[in-house]
Amino acid sequence: MSRRYRFAVVVFLPVVAALGLTACEPPDNYVALGDSYTAGPLITPQDPSIPGCIRSDANYPNLVAPDLGLPAFRDVSCSGAQTRDMFTSQDVDPDPNNPPQLDALDARTKVVTLGIGGNDIGFSSIAQTCAELGIQNQFQGSPCKDHYTAGGTDELAAEIAAVAPALRRVLDAIRQRSPDAEVFVVGYPAILPESTELFAACQPVMPIAAGDVPYLRDSVEKRLNATIQFTTVAAGHRFVDTYTPSIGHDACQPPVIRWVEPVVPAADAAPVHPNRLGMIGMADAVEASMRAAGVPVAD
């Protein structure tokens, strides 16, 4: 290094640092964390960077990001993610694996959305088990509820209760990594209708017993959302209710109305997951919550 160059470095680096102009600092950013209800599996176009995450470029984080106007955006959501995958690499197929989602955060992160908890209680396994039991019992009775409450203990209620401390650990870690970020935890939209009277017409594409609808809707999904909401608010963050605006847009509605596809999808979305309309509706709910929190969001 020449003497003249060393002089320039010695003289000007303190000035640059004092002005907060260090070249290595990342820009303010929005980071999206979450599972498949955030990632949007099979909704086209799909992000090719980590194929095993089945992450859509048309999911709600990608719809929200342009309206935030922040200079950087990272969506690291991944189908199948659990709360543990915020801290550790998630094994997906095909490779590469999805890195720990919390690694996307830094001190310059201004906005975080997080959608997690469903896979902690075994969402996919529940859907498969309840469908199989519904078919085996010719859609009579409530075989799914009977299965999960056998012996007088509600197995899924215990799983949901365990989500609270796991989610709190994630929220504490987000605050530690991004102390100035506004954090929005996004709940799950309605999968089943509020009324079971006409559910029989839905059974070909949602093969569960009508008697199991109140249990899965109220004792499972609504209880999970309530647990996520309570934990989020207790940690000082914002909960985004996507269930209320999605009532009447459940998987039993016609394709042009529903936000969630049934077991037999009629759109580019995974079974029992949000479709393109669902992502738009969830993005609207997220942006409304952000505006209420004072986050600048374009109309």
The arrangement of secondary structure in 27-292, i.e. its CATH architecture, is 3-Layer(aba) Sandwich (3.40)
Taking the C-alpha atoms of residue 136 and residue 248, their distance in angstroms, rounded to an integer, is: 29
Q: Spot the catalytic one: 77, 246, 273, 289.
A: 273
Closest to 191 (Cα-Cα) out of 107, 147, 131:
131
pLDDT in tens, 232-264: 999 999 999 999 999 999 999 999 999 999 999
What average pLDDT does the segment 9-26 reach? 45
Look up 273 and say whether it is catalytic. yes
pLDDT at 197: 83
Give the percent of the chain with pLDDT over 90. 88
**CA–CA separation, 96 vs 260, rounded Å?**
28
CA distance 33 to 83: 10
What was the pLDDT predicted at 6?
A: 39
Distance CA 299, CA 296 (A): 10
Identify whether 45 is preceded by a cis peptide bond (ω within 30 of 0). yes
Q: What is the pLDDT of residue 198?
A: 79
Of 77, 88, 106, 84, the C-alpha closest to 177 is: 106
Residue whose pair of structure tokens reads 């309309």 in the numeric block: 277
> What are the boundaries of each domain within the chain?
27-292
Residue 246 designated active-site: no
Model-level pTM? 0.91
The pLDDT of residue 11 = 39
Per annotation, catalytic residue among 36, 56, 178, 246: 36
Mean pLDDT, all residues of the chain: 92
Q: Are 102 and 174 in contact (CB under 8 A)?
A: yes
Q: Provide the 10 A C-beta neighbour count for residue 272.
A: 22
- pLDDT tens readout for residues 210-221: 999 999 999 999
- The pLDDT tens digits for 132-182 are 999 999 999 999 999 999 999 999 999 999 999 999 999 999 999 999 999
